[in-house]
Amino acid sequence: MATAPAEPSRKRRRMTSQAPAGVPDSSTPFAPELPLPQRMDVLEAMRTQVAMRWFTEEPVTHEQLMTVLWAATRAPSPGNTQGWDFLVVTEPELKRKIRDAIVPLREKLEAVTDTPPGRQKLRAGSLNLMAHLDKLPVLIFVCGKPVFPADNPRLDMMYSALYGATQNLMLAARAVGLATVMTTLHSAFEPVIRPMLGVPDDIHLASMIPVGRPARPHTAVKRKPVEDFVHWNTWA
Protein backbone atom coordinates (compact mmCIF):
# COMPACT_ATOMS: atom_id res chain seq x y z
CA MET A 1 0.00 0.00 0.00
CA ALA A 2 1.45 3.35 -1.04
CA THR A 3 2.07 5.76 1.78
CA ALA A 4 0.84 9.33 1.64
CA PRO A 5 3.52 11.94 1.01
CA ALA A 6 4.76 13.67 4.10
CA GLU A 7 3.46 17.17 4.64
CA PRO A 8 6.02 19.97 4.46
CA SER A 9 7.44 20.91 7.81
CA ARG A 10 7.06 24.51 8.85
CA LYS A 11 9.66 25.95 11.16
CA ARG A 12 7.56 27.90 13.63
CA ARG A 13 8.47 30.83 15.81
CA ARG A 14 7.15 30.28 19.30
CA MET A 15 4.31 32.66 20.16
CA THR A 16 4.99 33.77 23.71
CA SER A 17 2.95 35.59 26.30
CA GLN A 18 5.47 38.39 26.51
CA ALA A 19 4.87 41.89 25.20
CA PRO A 20 7.10 42.90 22.28
CA ALA A 21 8.56 45.97 23.97
CA GLY A 22 11.91 44.56 24.96
CA VAL A 23 10.59 41.94 27.38
CA PRO A 24 12.54 38.65 27.22
CA ASP A 25 10.75 35.76 25.56
CA SER A 26 9.02 33.23 27.74
CA SER A 27 9.59 29.51 27.21
CA THR A 28 5.99 28.84 28.27
CA PRO A 29 3.45 28.76 25.42
CA PHE A 30 0.61 31.21 25.84
CA ALA A 31 -2.82 29.95 26.86
CA PRO A 32 -5.68 32.29 27.80
CA GLU A 33 -6.82 32.21 31.40
CA LEU A 34 -9.80 34.55 31.43
CA PRO A 35 -11.94 34.53 34.58
CA LEU A 36 -15.19 32.72 33.86
CA PRO A 37 -17.42 35.86 34.13
CA GLN A 38 -15.43 37.45 31.28
CA ARG A 39 -16.10 34.60 28.88
CA MET A 40 -18.88 35.30 26.39
CA ASP A 41 -20.97 32.43 25.13
CA VAL A 42 -19.79 31.55 21.62
CA LEU A 43 -23.31 31.75 20.19
CA GLU A 44 -23.78 35.22 21.67
CA ALA A 45 -20.48 36.29 20.13
CA MET A 46 -21.69 35.03 16.75
CA ARG A 47 -25.04 36.78 17.17
CA THR A 48 -23.42 40.15 17.85
CA GLN A 49 -20.20 40.03 15.83
CA VAL A 50 -20.96 43.03 13.65
CA ALA A 51 -18.43 44.62 11.31
CA MET A 52 -17.15 47.56 13.38
CA ARG A 53 -15.71 50.56 11.52
CA TRP A 54 -15.82 53.02 14.42
CA PHE A 55 -13.21 52.60 17.14
CA THR A 56 -11.93 54.50 20.14
CA GLU A 57 -8.21 55.16 20.59
CA GLU A 58 -8.10 53.21 23.85
CA PRO A 59 -5.28 50.67 23.99
CA VAL A 60 -5.77 46.94 23.70
CA THR A 61 -4.15 44.91 26.45
CA HIS A 62 -1.45 42.43 25.57
CA GLU A 63 -3.50 39.70 27.24
CA GLN A 64 -6.46 40.47 24.97
CA LEU A 65 -4.29 40.52 21.88
CA MET A 66 -2.59 37.23 22.70
CA THR A 67 -5.97 35.68 23.44
CA VAL A 68 -7.39 36.51 20.00
CA LEU A 69 -4.21 35.29 18.30
CA TRP A 70 -4.33 32.08 20.33
CA ALA A 71 -7.94 31.59 19.22
CA ALA A 72 -6.99 32.16 15.59
CA THR A 73 -4.50 29.31 15.77
CA ARG A 74 -7.17 26.92 17.10
CA ALA A 75 -8.86 26.96 13.68
CA PRO A 76 -8.93 23.85 11.47
CA SER A 77 -6.54 23.52 8.55
CA PRO A 78 -6.03 20.90 5.81
CA GLY A 79 -4.04 18.03 7.26
CA ASN A 80 -3.46 20.17 10.36
CA THR A 81 -0.70 21.92 8.41
CA GLN A 82 -1.45 25.25 10.13
CA GLY A 83 -0.22 27.24 7.17
CA TRP A 84 -0.92 30.64 8.68
CA ASP A 85 1.02 33.56 10.07
CA PHE A 86 -0.19 36.76 11.70
CA LEU A 87 1.56 40.05 11.10
CA VAL A 88 0.60 42.29 14.03
CA VAL A 89 1.18 46.00 13.46
CA THR A 90 1.27 48.20 16.56
CA GLU A 91 3.95 50.79 15.70
CA PRO A 92 2.34 54.22 15.08
CA GLU A 93 4.63 55.09 12.18
CA LEU A 94 3.86 51.87 10.33
CA LYS A 95 0.14 52.39 10.83
CA ARG A 96 0.47 55.91 9.48
CA LYS A 97 2.25 54.63 6.37
CA ILE A 98 -0.48 52.06 5.78
CA ARG A 99 -3.12 54.76 6.16
CA ASP A 100 -1.29 56.97 3.68
CA ALA A 101 -0.91 54.10 1.20
CA ILE A 102 -4.67 53.73 0.84
CA VAL A 103 -5.42 57.46 0.46
CA PRO A 104 -6.25 56.99 -3.27
CA LEU A 105 -8.92 54.46 -2.33
CA ARG A 106 -10.41 56.81 0.25
CA GLU A 107 -10.42 59.70 -2.22
CA LYS A 108 -12.14 57.53 -4.82
CA LEU A 109 -14.86 56.62 -2.33
CA GLU A 110 -15.22 60.24 -1.22
CA ALA A 111 -15.83 61.25 -4.84
CA VAL A 112 -18.90 59.01 -5.06
CA THR A 113 -21.93 61.25 -4.55
CA ASP A 114 -24.79 58.98 -5.59
CA THR A 115 -24.52 56.33 -2.88
CA PRO A 116 -27.80 54.39 -2.58
CA PRO A 117 -29.59 54.95 0.76
CA GLY A 118 -28.94 51.38 1.84
CA ARG A 119 -25.17 51.80 1.38
CA GLN A 120 -24.67 55.19 3.02
CA LYS A 121 -23.94 53.74 6.46
CA LEU A 122 -21.32 51.42 4.97
CA ARG A 123 -19.76 54.30 3.03
CA ALA A 124 -19.55 56.52 6.12
CA GLY A 125 -18.03 53.75 8.19
CA SER A 126 -15.50 52.83 5.51
CA LEU A 127 -14.38 56.44 5.10
CA ASN A 128 -14.01 56.82 8.86
CA LEU A 129 -11.99 53.62 9.12
CA MET A 130 -9.63 54.53 6.29
CA ALA A 131 -9.07 58.03 7.68
CA HIS A 132 -8.18 56.77 11.16
CA LEU A 133 -6.20 53.58 10.57
CA ASP A 134 -3.20 55.16 12.26
CA LYS A 135 -5.22 55.79 15.43
CA LEU A 136 -6.26 52.17 15.86
CA PRO A 137 -4.37 50.18 18.49
CA VAL A 138 -3.70 47.18 16.26
CA LEU A 139 -3.85 46.02 12.64
CA ILE A 140 -3.55 42.29 12.06
CA PHE A 141 -2.68 40.87 8.64
CA VAL A 142 -3.73 37.23 8.30
CA CYS A 143 -1.10 35.66 6.05
CA GLY A 144 -0.11 32.29 4.71
CA LYS A 145 1.41 30.19 1.97
CA PRO A 146 0.17 27.06 0.17
CA VAL A 147 1.45 23.99 2.02
CA PHE A 148 -1.18 21.31 1.31
CA PRO A 149 -1.14 18.82 -0.28
CA ALA A 150 2.60 18.39 -0.08
CA ASP A 151 3.04 17.27 -3.69
CA ASN A 152 0.90 20.06 -5.15
CA PRO A 153 0.12 22.85 -2.65
CA ARG A 154 -3.10 24.66 -3.54
CA LEU A 155 -4.27 28.22 -2.93
CA ASP A 156 -7.83 27.16 -2.16
CA MET A 157 -6.56 24.90 0.60
CA MET A 158 -4.51 27.77 2.00
CA TYR A 159 -7.46 30.16 2.05
CA SER A 160 -9.70 27.55 3.69
CA ALA A 161 -7.34 27.70 6.66
CA LEU A 162 -6.78 31.46 6.68
CA TYR A 163 -10.45 32.40 6.64
CA GLY A 164 -11.25 29.91 9.40
CA ALA A 165 -8.48 31.49 11.47
CA THR A 166 -9.88 34.93 10.66
CA GLN A 167 -13.32 34.00 11.98
CA ASN A 168 -11.85 32.52 15.16
CA LEU A 169 -9.84 35.68 15.71
CA MET A 170 -12.86 37.93 15.26
CA LEU A 171 -15.11 35.84 17.51
CA ALA A 172 -12.49 35.81 20.25
CA ALA A 173 -12.09 39.57 19.95
CA ARG A 174 -15.82 39.97 20.48
CA ALA A 175 -15.67 37.64 23.47
CA VAL A 176 -13.02 39.74 25.24
CA GLY A 177 -14.75 43.06 24.62
CA LEU A 178 -13.00 44.14 21.43
CA ALA A 179 -14.28 44.88 17.95
CA THR A 180 -13.05 43.97 14.49
CA VAL A 181 -13.89 44.17 10.83
CA MET A 182 -12.53 41.95 8.09
CA THR A 183 -11.11 44.05 5.25
CA THR A 184 -9.05 43.69 2.10
CA LEU A 185 -8.10 47.38 2.02
CA HIS A 186 -4.49 46.39 1.49
CA SER A 187 -5.10 44.40 -1.69
CA ALA A 188 -4.99 47.24 -4.22
CA PHE A 189 -1.79 48.61 -2.70
CA GLU A 190 0.19 45.48 -1.88
CA PRO A 191 3.21 46.61 -3.95
CA VAL A 192 3.52 49.53 -1.53
CA ILE A 193 2.51 47.82 1.70
CA ARG A 194 4.46 44.55 1.37
CA PRO A 195 7.95 46.15 1.33
CA MET A 196 7.22 48.41 4.30
CA LEU A 197 6.17 45.35 6.33
CA GLY A 198 8.93 43.09 5.01
CA VAL A 199 6.51 40.44 3.75
CA PRO A 200 8.33 37.64 1.85
CA ASP A 201 7.38 37.12 -1.79
CA ASP A 202 5.91 33.67 -1.18
CA ILE A 203 3.50 34.85 1.53
CA HIS A 204 -0.09 35.77 0.66
CA LEU A 205 -2.00 38.46 2.56
CA ALA A 206 -5.58 37.24 2.99
CA SER A 207 -7.04 40.03 5.09
CA MET A 208 -6.29 43.09 7.17
CA ILE A 209 -8.22 43.20 10.43
CA PRO A 210 -8.42 46.36 12.54
CA VAL A 211 -8.70 45.49 16.23
CA GLY A 212 -9.73 47.89 18.97
CA ARG A 213 -12.39 48.99 21.39
CA PRO A 214 -15.74 49.79 19.77
CA ALA A 215 -16.93 53.39 19.64
CA ARG A 216 -20.46 52.19 18.95
CA PRO A 217 -22.45 49.37 20.54
CA HIS A 218 -22.45 45.86 19.18
CA THR A 219 -25.87 44.92 17.87
CA ALA A 220 -27.29 41.74 16.44
CA VAL A 221 -26.02 40.92 12.96
CA LYS A 222 -28.60 41.19 10.21
CA ARG A 223 -29.06 37.87 8.44
CA LYS A 224 -31.83 36.10 6.56
CA PRO A 225 -33.59 33.25 8.40
CA VAL A 226 -31.53 30.08 8.55
CA GLU A 227 -34.42 28.21 6.95
CA ASP A 228 -33.76 30.10 3.71
CA PHE A 229 -30.48 28.24 3.28
CA VAL A 230 -31.06 24.74 4.62
CA HIS A 231 -31.90 21.72 2.43
CA TRP A 232 -32.90 18.50 4.17
CA ASN A 233 -31.70 15.28 2.55
CA THR A 234 -32.19 16.54 -1.04
CA TRP A 235 -31.90 19.97 -2.65
CA ALA A 236 -35.60 20.25 -3.49
| CB burial of residue 221 (10 Å; 0-12, 13-18, 19+) | exposed
The pTM of the full predicted model, rounded to 2 decimals, is 0.83
Four-way CATH pick for 38-215: 3.40.50.1820, 3.40.190.10, 3.40.109.10, 3.40.50.1000? 3.40.109.10
- Per residue in 73-109, pLDDT (tens digit) is 999 999 999 999 999 999 999 999 999 998 888 888 7
| Residue 183 DSSP one-character state | B
Helix (H) or strand (E) holding 196: helix 190-197
Q: Where are the domains of the chain?
A: 38-215
Q: What is the pLDDT of residues 166-219, one digit of tens each?
A: 999 999 999 999 999 999 988 889 999 999 999 999 999 999 999 999 999 999
User: How confident is the model over 12-65, as pLDDT tens digits?
Assistant: 554 444 444 432 344 456 767 655 456 788 999 999 999 889 899 999 999 999
CA distance 160 to 133: 27
Among residues 140, 133, 136, 142, which one has the least CA distance to residue 106? Answer: 133
